[in-house]
Amino acid sequence: MQVIVRDNNVEQALRVLKKKMQREGVFREMRARRSYEKPSERRVREAAEAIRRHNKLKKKRLQREGLLPAPKKVVHPR
């Protein structure tokens, strides 16, 4: 992974790097590798993740088709 530092702006480069790492799932993988996960626990976790993904996609599809109300947009007062 590579990030270009422009105008010696290291803070911005760090923010970009963290975003890239977040998108790639590096932080999630580091947290998962902190301790050993038994294969049976891994199967249970992956099955639960698949169910969550499926339900999320189903909810989005129903909202697009108009069968479920769309989520209300939050307006932040400024």
Q: What is the pLDDT of residues 1-20, one digit of tens each?
A: 899 999 999 999 999 999 99
CB atoms within 10 A of CB 44: 12
| CA terminus-to-terminus distance, the chain | 37
- Cβ contacts of 42 within 8 Å, gap of 6 or more: none
Both tokens assigned to 63: 């909202």
Question: What dihedral do alpha carbons 12, 16, 19, 25 form, nearest 10°?
Answer: -140
> Rounded mean pLDDT of 24-43?
93
This prediction has a pTM of 0.61
